[in-house]
Amino acid sequence: MAPNTEALALEQVTEYFEKLAIDGTDKYVVFPNVSLEPLEPFEHQDPGHLADPTKTSILEQAESVVTLTPHIGTEIHGLQLSKLTEQQKNDLALLVEERGVVFFKNQDISTKQLVDLGKHYGPLHHHPVGGHEEDSQYAMSIYSDSRFASKFRAGQNSQPAASTLHSDITFEKQPAGITFLKLELVPKTGGDTIWYSAYEAYDRLSPALQRFLEGLRATHQGDIFEHYSKFAGIPLRREVPQDTTHPVVRTHPVTGWKSLFVQPGFTRSIVGLRKHESDALLKLLYEHLGGGYDFQVRYKWGANDVAIWDNRVTNHCAIPDYQSNEKRYGFRVTSTAEAPYFDPKSKSRRQDLEEAQKY
Ligand SMILES: O=C(O)CCC(=O)C(=O)O
Ligand SMILES: [Fe+2]
């Protein structure tokens, strides 16, 4: 039965959401009604610091490496994430941090193995609302089929996809770093994902606007998950922080490069500006991001592909264009990283590469 969320009583929806079998897999998604403690601060140790700058263990041992666009996205063929050595795990961190997103085709890695791999990159995030696989709270389900389509895609169909452009969980004080998504069921056509380089987004702004933005902070809110929890009758497992601010331009701890760290998904205002100033500036920046056709990569998924991106330096949006009778299932493993900071001495990616004559 395909429930229409709006028409259902909350009680029924809650029951519906307790445990959901994913057709076409042997998996169940659960939405446990548990109360989680607030996240504790931690000191982030980035494995990218341990990488070999040439990243040979990945780039030379793959069967082939495809640079998908000049600014973002690399596709790796012929390596299984389930079998990485310690050196490869560290080199992978640096590759993702430099390239923004890296794709591994047709992976045999299990949920448990991907969760274990994710832990190498930082403490894993347990989402306050998102359903997760029955066997792991750290494998957040990304799901859509005829039962879920109306609920999960409602709203998305009535607005431009770019308005859902986001970096994951930036409402947290220490938001996501390296993040994995494995898609196990993919629609026959459609359901691509687009990633945008926030390094290049910064580099495309005029020096005058760059200087203006540097040192500013913006508020980030996870209110959509609170609404979503009420709307869909899913328990809110942890309070979402209400007072998070992050720098508008942040410095990456490993590459040292600056990136533009605002997005329509979770950023709400720029601290210190009047509301109409903040709204106008964010609108300008969101148009700049969403219109970045020449600093994005659009990925056409194959079954069991894994995308690995650095949420500190990219934004992404899923494209909900497939038919509602199509199934799309995957799970995300999200490592968390440092509290975002801006180092006034840091360089932009373009400046650094130009100086090294690599641009
Ligand atoms: O479904 C997708 O392609 C991406 C969903 C998403 O935003 C995520 O996994 O963080
Ligand atoms: Fe996301």
- Atom 8 of ligand 1 has which residue's CA nearest to it? 332
Q: In what order do the strands lie in the sheet with 217-220?
A: 244-247, 217-220, 267-270
Other Cβ atoms less than 10 A from the Cβ of 347: the count is: 16
Answer whether 142 contacts ligand 1 (Cβ < 6 A): yes
pLDDT band at 231 (very low <50, low <70, confident <90, very high): confident
pLDDT band at 324 (very low <50, low <70, confident <90, very high): confident
Instruction: Kindly state the percentage of the chain with pLDDT values over 90.
Output: 77
**Strands annotated E in the chain:** 19-21, 28-30, 64-67, 74-77, 101-104, 132-133, 140-144, 176-185, 193-197, 217-220, 244-247, 249-251, 258-260, 267-270, 296-299, 305-310, 314-318, 328-336
**Is residue 276 among the annotated active site residues?**
no
- Atom 6 of ligand 1 has which residue's CA nearest to it? 318
- Note whether 236 and 129 are within 8 A (CB): yes
Instruction: Report the range of poorest mean pLDDT among 20-34, 50-64, 175-189.
Output: 20-34
Give 338-351 pLDDT, tens digit per residue.
Answer: 999 999 999 999 99
Single pTM value for the model: 0.93
69 has a pLDDT exceeding 60: yes
The pLDDT of residue 280: 98
* 94-115 average pLDDT score: 98
The pLDDT of residue 5: 37
352 has a pLDDT exceeding 50: yes
**Is residue 316 among the annotated active site residues?**
yes
Answer whether 169 contacts ligand 1 (Cβ < 6 A): no
**Is residue 77 among the annotated active site residues?**
no
Q: Which of 125, 246, 332, 349 is catalytic?
A: 332
Which amino acid is present at 165? L
Answer whether 46 contacts ligand 1 (Cβ < 6 A): no
C-alpha Rg value of the chain to the nearest Å: 20
Give 140-157 pLDDT, tens digit per residue.
Answer: 999 876 555 444 444 445
Give distance in angstroms: CA of 230 to centre of ligand 1.
21
- Domain 5-355 class, CATH top level: alpha beta
- Atom 4 of ligand 1 has which residue's CA nearest to it? 318
Instruction: Kindly state the percentage of the chain with pLDDT values over 70.
Output: 90
* 277-296 average pLDDT score: 97
Answer whether 168 contacts ligand 1 (Cβ < 6 A): yes
9 has a pLDDT exceeding 60: no
Average predicted confidence (pLDDT) for the chain: 90
* 315-336 average pLDDT score: 91
